[in-house]
Structure 1
Amino acid sequence: MRPRIGWYVHHHGRGHVTRLLAIVPHLDADVVCFSSLPHPDGLPPHCTWVRLDRDDEVPEGGPLPDESDPTADGLLHWAPLGHVGHRARLVTIAETLARRRIDTMVVDVSAEVVLLARLLGVATVVMAQPGRRDDTPHTLAFRAASRIIAPWPAGMLDLDHLRAVQDKVVHTGGISRFEGRDRPRPDGGRSGVLLLGGAGGTAVSVEAIEAAAQASGRRWASLGAGAGSVWADDPWDALCRAEVVVSWAGQNAVADLAAVGAKAVVLPQERPFEEQVTTALALQRAGLAIVPDGWPDPAEWPGLLDRAATLEPDWDRWQVVGAARRAAGVIEAVAADAPPGGDR
């Protein structure tokens, strides 16, 4: 019987929804997606999208969310008291899990949604993230999970918080939407620098990016950061044509670098729990990218890019090939082992 899977997609940045779109084509299941984000383009027909209320906006006449004990004295990450949107989104998830008879819930990411699903008797698959995540909410979520997907290769990131639940962890390798994509025909080889920004924000100023480009002695193009930058939903061609890619250290960005075999300068951005710093240091140890200590001064860029251009990174070590399918296999296995959600 065809399983029914729920999938919670966090609304910060675009990485969580991008990962969903990479994995769900490999799922032989009906998938109900929950998110505050709008319905994304490219969602397969076996998936439906349930739009959730926001839980981080100031309610009319109410207190600011971060002033209403949102952590429950450190037990949770985000559950603001008296917030109508927060209450409504959890009610929507609970009602849909019950009405649609969901077998398994994938959570990417929210400790509160993991606990809600488990309290409702739904098996959960948690998407892990790098960084220091040994706080109480993460510990509760990892212990409540049936399986934990770590979307990077085993042995690359040694994380204490996953060692404690290692019997549940499956390392899939880096999950990239570009896995198996044909490259554009070469037209003179790779050239120039591509700055690949993300949607999660950056502390690097437009002025700093412009100064780096001017000092580098190379042609620069920017996607998602810098003056004159545009957002590209599909930067594959630009990645393939760049001699060097300058990128943040988000999980999807790194997997995309691996998929294209990029020579890269990776600059981790400030994120909760030191997520990008942890990832970038792992890349540096593995010799997969140049990782400066902060945004370099303009005079440093020519030598930095020269070093990156001479790299011969063995991106096969990031195990992108088959990673999305392996993740789908973990989810389907949990759904197959879970007691049925109810009468079909």
Structure 2
Amino acid sequence: MAKPISFFVHHQGRGHAQRTMAIVRELPASQPVSVLTADPSLFDGFERDIEIVPLPNMIGAPVPTPALYDQPTPAVMHCVPLGLAPMRQTMRRILDHLDDRGTGLFVIDVSAELALLARIASVPAIKIRMHGNRSDAGHTAAYDACTGMLAPFDARLEQPDYPDWARAKTFYSGGLCTSSQRRDDRAEARRALGLPAERELVVAITGGGGAGTPYAPLTMAARAAPDTLFVTVGPLHREGHETDFANLVNHGWVSHTSDYIAAADIVIASAGDNTVHEIMRTGRPYICAPEWRYFDEQQRKAESLAAVGAAIHLPRWPGDLEGWRDLLERARALDIECQRGLHDPHAAARAAGWLMSRMDTLWQEETRQGRRAAPQVSIAATGT
């Protein structure tokens, strides 16, 4: 029987879970799969038969004493407060599961600390790559500890400062879009959404991982371009002093974001992985307004998109009318041919195939011959 593949899925936002489901769908039906996550509801309705292992939600857990709280964080770790029972329970549950199932590959999306834990526990790990300023000791150690990294984007979007030794152990799946729905035709999408057929349409999109699209700057956009219809999708961040305009309409949460992307003449969106690749798949002028994320993840991704000409990087929302008019003109002039190929319709299948190949490479002798005599390792001899 094939060794199981276990996934750790971070529960912030929806993207980590959606990416995992897209990849798992492409794994062989006979491949045992388990998912460890602090929010099992992210996998409600998933059609594949997988084992879900609920983990404690450690976010916000109070540290018991001021002295424990004052202890400095080790350089090779990011978030390891002392004295937390939920943290011990999480680590124990993960280790017990990996041990009980005999996991052959642990795919981590995402946690630098769990990559180190997997190596200490003698479990081969794969880390999902994300953009950002990740040259710190924690990320470097995690990359070093893994048997490989999976980058769910095109190699052309790689950061120039990503070290060569890490690049050599990274598999680039191509742009992985987790949405199965698609409607590319602009006119058809507008009819389906009840939007004007001929009016210039700018769609501003925010996903579930942040605070929402800032509404005040969009009111300035509506004033700057009164003949353009601005439609927002997803949550909005309101400050309470904004003036509404007839050409600025909020559609809130929607079930098919891809329809709005298809309907748009220009898309304003953050740099979330799935949003980026939905836009690349459809091909629309893209103003990338990165949201704050740890390690400047979205800023670096926006820089990479702008470097290949696939988007306009918007580090700061315009606060004046001329700033908005200039931005919209730049978007209208963007050559969307630069987006071609940054989405790969087979990316999830490529990622799944690579995971299976890593499993085969790491375990093939045991698989072919059963347990056999292996090189004897003396822990004492390592000097640790």
Q: Does TM, normalized by the shorter one, top 0.5?
A: yes
Q: 2:26 matched to which residue of 1?
A: 26
CA displacement 1:190-247 (0-9 Å, x = unmatched): 8511111122224863323333334333212212232645233531211111111100
| 2:71 is aligned with 1:48 | no
The alpha-carbon distance between structure 1 residues 86 and 233, as it changes in their structure 2 partners (threshold 3 A), is farther
The alpha-carbon distance between structure 1 residues 119 and 291, as it changes in their structure 2 partners (threshold 3 A), is same
Is the Cα–Cα contact under 8 Å of residues 23 and 324 in structure 1 kept in the other structure?
yes
What TM-score, normalized by structure 2, do the two folds share?
A: 0.80
1:76 CA drift (Å): 0.7
Amino acid at match of 1:58: A
CA displacement 1:278-333 (0-9 Å, x = unmatched): 11112112111122341112412233223323433122231422211111112111
In structure 2, how many angstroms separate the alpha carbons of the residues matched to 1:13 and 1:68? Answer: 30
Q: 2:80 matched to which residue of 1?
A: 79
Q: How does 1:201-212 map to 2 (within 5 A)?
A: 201-202=210-211, 205-212=214-221
Q: 1:335 matched to which residue of 2?
A: 359
Q: 1:7 matched to which residue of 2?
A: 7
Q: 1:321 matched to which residue of 2?
A: 345
Is the Cα–Cα contact under 8 Å of residues 190 and 242 in structure 1 kept in the other structure?
no
Aligned Cα root-mean-square deviation (Å): 2.7
The alpha-carbon distance between structure 1 residues 311 and 112, as it changes in their structure 2 partners (threshold 3 A), is same
The alpha-carbon distance between structure 1 residues 35 and 176, as it changes in their structure 2 partners (threshold 3 A), is same
1:119 CA drift (Å): 1.9
In structure 1, how many angstroms separate the alpha carbons of the residues matched to 2:67 and 2:264? Answer: 43
Question: Which 5+ residue runs of structure 1 have no aligned equivalent?
Answer: none
Amino acid at match of 1:326: R
Question: Which 5+ residue runs of structure 2 have no aligned equivalent?
Answer: 192-196, 239-249, 372-384
In structure 2, how many angstroms separate the alpha carbons of the residues matched to 1:168 and 1:108? Answer: 17
Q: 1:301 matched to which residue of 2?
A: 324
- Bigger Cα displacement from structure 2, 326-335 vs 223-232: 223-232
In structure 1, how many angstroms separate the alpha carbons of the residues matched to 2:199 and 2:279? Answer: 14
Q: 1:178 matched to which residue of 2?
A: 179
Q: 2:136 matched to which residue of 1?
A: 135
Quick check: which has more Rg, 1 or 2? 2
Identity of aligned residues (%): 29
In structure 1, how many angstroms separate the alpha carbons of the residues matched to 2:8 and 2:174? Answer: 21
The alpha-carbon distance between structure 1 residues 97 and 207, as it changes in their structure 2 partners (threshold 3 A), is same
In structure 2, how many angstroms separate the alpha carbons of the residues matched to 1:194 and 1:39? Answer: 29
In structure 1, how many angstroms separate the alpha carbons of the residues matched to 2:72 and 2:5? Answer: 28
